[in-house]
Amino acid sequence: MPDWRGYIRQHMPPLRVGPARESEIVAELALQLEQAYGDALAAGASEAEAQQRARFQIRDWENLAREINTAERQSGPRFLAGLAHDLRYSARLLARSPGFAAIAVLTLAFGIGGNTAIFSMVDAIALRSLPYPHPDRLMAIETRRVEQPEIEPWTSPSDFFDLRERSRAFSTIAGIDPIWSLILTGRGEAEQLQCLFVSADFFPMLGLKASLGRTFAPGEDRAHAPSYVVMLSHSFWQRRFGGSPGIIGQTLVMDGSPYTVIGVMPAGFHYEGEPLAGTASDIDVYCPLAANVLTGSAARGLRCLKAIGRLAPGVTAEQASDEVRRIGLALAQQYPDSNRGFAMDAQPLRAQVAGRFRLTMLLLLGAVGFVLLMACANVANLLLARAVARHREVSVRAALGASRLRLVRQLLTEGLFMAAIGGLGGLAVAYLGLKCLVAAAPPSLLQGRVIRLDARALLFATATVLGCALLAGLPPASRTVRDDIGNALREAGRGLTAGHHLLRSALVVMQVTVALVLLIGAGLLIRSFQRVLSVDPGFQAHNLVTIWTQVPRAVQTSEQRTAIYRRIHDELMSVPGVRSVAAVSRLPLMGINLGSALFIEGQSTPGVPGPDVEYRRATPEYFTTMGIALRSGRFFNDHDAPNASTVALINEALARKFFPGGNPVGKRIKLGGDLDKRQWITILGVVGDVRHFGLDIAPRPEVYTAYAANPLFSPILVIRTDSDPSALAATLAAKVRSISPEMPAYDVFTMQALVDRSTTQRRFVMSLLTGFALAALLLAGVGIYGTMSQSVAQRTREIGLRMALGSSPAAALGLVVRHGVRLMALGIALGTLAATGLTQLMSKLLFEVRPLDPLAFAGAALALAAFSLSACYIPARRATRVDPLEALRQE
């Protein structure tokens, strides 16, 4: 008797099972051979023949081992085993049709990647809680003019100190000055530093500790007795002092005053509330609030602080707001001259920070979500098309006893498998997309936030993948559930069932609907952007350079400042190519403005605070240099100098609002709160409106006072050149610095760059939404094309029969196109309805365009219709080439 066990061990490739199980299998197989051998002998075969027959039982050892290994691997819970099988099956299916797989996976990758990238940005800007301990306990306290709530709220130092004293709802309240430019001198070239003056409570309130040294002690921030101490930002410390710890205790001369360095802020610290919210400013140094000249001012009408508070334990945000409102009312009664018409309130700091971008961010997230929905619809459509092609297979499997649940699971697994691969690709897309987003986004939007793919983004991507798997896998799976087996077998040969077709058509209608909504949204933003670009800013931006400077500390008197400005003027005029030079206190479109109360002779009531108007101080040449038009009266001239404090120009908006129908030239006004001490100012002329706040913000009433009345310590120079000024900018800045080593020249911009910068955010949002809309258009086109192609393939027999009966190719073309047009028309009707509602939500983002703008609606519908028709045309053409004989033969 041969040793069959030895024979098997000798031939069988190693099995991937435990040793005990392996010897069991070997024993069982040996028994099989042994019985075959015995039977052969019994049947009269010779020894050699019997051995031959037994050996013949197993010929393909490799295959046997593989089959046993596969069978043995199906261990563990049955569901998981089935899942592994489904996954393998899905992978094989995808590998078998690489074209289909590539389209589906790429569609999903771009959809998931785009969503993850946008989510990361939106999350960092508008969703994530503030990076401070118990951020929901931080409140922003604001003072607003009741009649002009659109004016940025600032609180006066006097009100701030009173509030801090009277409030019980907050454990601490901190004040913050506007961003302040200080000039660092005595350490090489003078440098302009961005400074924030903050209360000593500011850092502990935000849970911040110095990374080196310490933060301010309460004693260093005592009103009227401040200590001149300074904390450095981490980046400034690194940049200017090479990160040397020896800086602590050293003195920095800023604006001529010596400040002792006491600490360095932690790396990456960036205060997210106002006055920094919405700006791209990087703060270099922090000083105690009391050290700022404005804070010490007794004038209650001077509003120059932002205030934040941390809620006391057990106090709710509503209770705190109530208390702040009550204190505001009490202050208005106590100090009517300065506080009447102003109201105080408090809102969560997070609302202040995220509020300004929330709508934009949600719009982008919504739009990209819609694109993903369309991508899923396309993949579902592809899966449906394939489910149709696999109908026979599915039917046979169902007939052979595969449960519905099992089949549904297989289809869902296919969706999941594709979504997972799409998700992996999506991460790569998200990584690259986020890089592009961060590079393209305006700094005022990002505000130095670190935006990257983090755990939250990955979680979002995973959720998106699961969502996609369901969205893409459910439609084909649901069909399978509803199909009954007999029906399926009957239909197997034909392919498409009416149900499938209805579902696919519904998906196409949904895609057209969504694409239209996105196209209309993008159209509205594009139209708004065009309107913004066509706005006349009120000045001629080309060939203009602006340079910020500051006169040296030693230059104190008005005459000295006039003299040094004259020197600057003459030096700059000596540069070839310079046509004119002027100075002003605030530039248009810089986002920095100053308000003052206006009192009009014969109109205003004494004791009632006048309306807020903007004011600027400008040299006589400012208007001609900027190209600002004169509407009536005259500009300033050098002869006004002796009476400079008694003359002013106003803009058209002020003339319209306060002198409607009359001629304001020669009328008298006063500016500021303390009317008795103010001089009357005569209006010399009316100048054209300038868009100081933004191209999309209507000009506010403005007063220009004469530069000579109080020459500026920090004049902003405006220089008009003969040609493109970018080449001259550096020379001009050097010219300013050459006047005194203590005079900096910073923020050197061409005016055109400022105009462009003012529209970057609008441009950014518009470009993104347009990109999404185009992606949606493409996806809708692909969806229509796919469905129409499938429909033509399915109706080949019908079309062939019609043609055999005498129908023309044109009629076949019409048959298919009509079907496409029906779906498209339904989608466009639904999309128009949806857009009518949805565009109302974005009305705040529009400029001089109504949410129901007919041009945007009609343009989007036309573009979509044209694109959809082209997508229909190719399959329709195919229908015209159907060979009637060939089609009939298929029957």
Partner 1 sequence: MILLALLEGRPRHGYELAKMIESQSDSRLQFHVASLYPMLYRLERKRLVEGKWVEKAGERRKRYYRLTPGGRRALVIHRRTWREFVSVLNSLTGFGHA
Q: Contact residues for partner 1 (CB under 8 A)?
A: 24-25, 27-29, 31-32, 34-36, 57-60, 63-64, 67-68, 70-72, 74-75, 78, 81, 398-401, 485-486, 489-490
Q: Which is nearer to partner 1, 31 or 436 (CB)?
A: 31
Q: How far is the CB of 389 from partner 1 (least distance, A)?
A: 20
Residues 6+ apart with CB under 8 A from 387: 394, 411, 476, 479, 480, 500
E strand or H helix at 739:
helix 726-739
Q: Which is nearer to partner 1, 400 or 810 (CB)?
A: 400
DSSP bridge partners of 258: 253
Helix axes 349-389, 455-482, angle to 10 degrees: 40
Q: How far is the CB of 51 from partner 1 (least distance, A)?
A: 16
Q: Which is nearer to partner 1, 23 or 560 (CB)?
A: 23
Q: Which is nearer to partner 1, 489 or 811 (CB)?
A: 489
Q: Take residue 769 and report the two structure tokens written for it.
A: 């939404």
What 3-state class would DSSP assign to 32? helix
**What is the distance between the alpha carbons of residues 330 and 336, in angstroms, rounded to a whole number?**
10
Query: For strand 229-232 and strand 285-288, is the pairing parallel, antiparallel, or unpaired?
Result: antiparallel
Q: How far is the CB of 54 from partner 1 (least distance, A)?
A: 11
Q: How far is the CB of 396 from partner 1 (least distance, A)?
A: 8
Q: Which is nearer to partner 1, 70 or 843 (CB)?
A: 70
What 3-state class would DSSP assign to 833? helix
Q: Which is nearer to partner 1, 60 or 165 (CB)?
A: 60
Q: How far is the CB of 5 from partner 1 (least distance, A)?
A: 12
Q: How many Cα neighbours within 13 Å face the side chain of 350?
A: 17
- Amino acid 368 reads V
Closest by CA position to 124, among listed 371, 424, 518, 441: 441
DSSP bridge partners of 683: 648
Query: For strand 170-176 and strand 180-185, is the pairing parallel, antiparallel, or unpaired?
Result: unpaired
- Check if the beta carbon of residue 291 is closer than 8 Å to that of residue 226: yes
Q: Which is nearer to partner 1, 14 or 806 (CB)?
A: 14
DSSP letter, residue 618: E
What 3-state class would DSSP assign to 262? strand
- For the stretch 821-842, what's the b/e string if a residue is b when 16 or more beta carbons lie within 10 angstroms of its beta carbon? bebbebbbebbbeebeebbeeb
Q: How far is the CB of 15 from partner 1 (least distance, A)?
A: 11
Using CB atoms within 10 A of its CB, is residue 42 exposed (0-12), middle (13-18) or buried (19+)? exposed
Q: Take residue 303 and report the two structure tokens written for it.
A: 């509003």
Q: How far is the CB of 806 from partner 1 (least distance, A)?
A: 33
- Check if the beta carbon of residue 871 is closer than 8 Å to that of residue 784: yes
Q: How far is the CB of 136 from partner 1 (least distance, A)?
A: 54
Q: How far is the CB of 28 from partner 1 (least distance, A)?
A: 5
Q: Which is nearer to partner 1, 484 or 883 (CB)?
A: 484
- Check if the beta carbon of residue 644 is closer than 8 Å to that of residue 707: yes
Closest by CA position to 591, among listed 281, 176, 148: 281
CA distances (Å), origin 339, targets 149, 343, 657, 675: 15, 8, 23, 15
Q: Which is nearer to partner 1, 470 or 489 (CB)?
A: 489
Q: How far is the CB of 68 from partner 1 (least distance, A)?
A: 5
Q: Which is nearer to partner 1, 71 or 730 (CB)?
A: 71
Using CB atoms within 10 A of its CB, is residue 662 exposed (0-12), middle (13-18) or buried (19+)? exposed
Q: Which is nearer to partner 1, 8 or 196 (CB)?
A: 8
Q: Which is nearer to partner 1, 9 or 567 (CB)?
A: 9
Residue carrying the six token digits 């006048």: 610
- Check if the beta carbon of residue 90 is closer than 8 Å to that of residue 383: no
Q: What is the DSSP string of 604-619?
A: SPTTSPPPEEEEEEE-
Q: What is the DSSP string of 64-104?
A: HHHHHHHHHH--S-HHHHHHHHHHHHHHHHHHH-HHHHHHH
Q: Which is nearer to partner 1, 74 or 663 (CB)?
A: 74
- Check if the beta carbon of residue 876 is closer than 8 Å to that of residue 820: yes
Q: Which is nearer to partner 1, 495 or 771 (CB)?
A: 495
Q: How far is the CB of 497 from partner 1 (least distance, A)?
A: 16
Q: Which is nearer to partner 1, 63 or 334 (CB)?
A: 63
E strand or H helix at 73:
helix 61-73
What 3-state class would DSSP assign to 35? helix
Alpha-carbon radius of gyration of the chain: 38
**What is the distance between the alpha carbons of residues 497 and 524, in angstroms, rounded to a whole number?**
41
Q: How far is the CB of 864 from partner 1 (least distance, A)?
A: 44
Q: Which is nearer to partner 1, 12 or 380 (CB)?
A: 12
Q: How far is the CB of 398 from partner 1 (least distance, A)?
A: 8
Closest by CA position to 300, among listed 343, 345, 339: 339
Q: How far is the CB of 49 from partner 1 (least distance, A)?
A: 19
Q: Which is nearer to partner 1, 12 or 376 (CB)?
A: 12
Q: How far is the CB of 358 from partner 1 (least distance, A)?
A: 55
Q: How far is the CB of 59 from partner 1 (least distance, A)?
A: 8
Q: How far is the CB of 2 from partner 1 (least distance, A)?
A: 15
**What is the distance between the alpha carbons of residues 720 and 614, in angstroms, rounded to a whole number?**
25
Q: How far is the CB of 78 from partner 1 (least distance, A)?
A: 7
Q: Which is nearer to partner 1, 489 or 590 (CB)?
A: 489
Residues 6+ apart with CB under 8 A from 480: 387, 394, 404, 407, 408, 411
CA distances (Å), origin 135, targets 198, 345, 361, 382: 19, 19, 21, 47
What 3-state class would DSSP assign to 240? helix
Residue carrying the six token digits 């003359």: 647
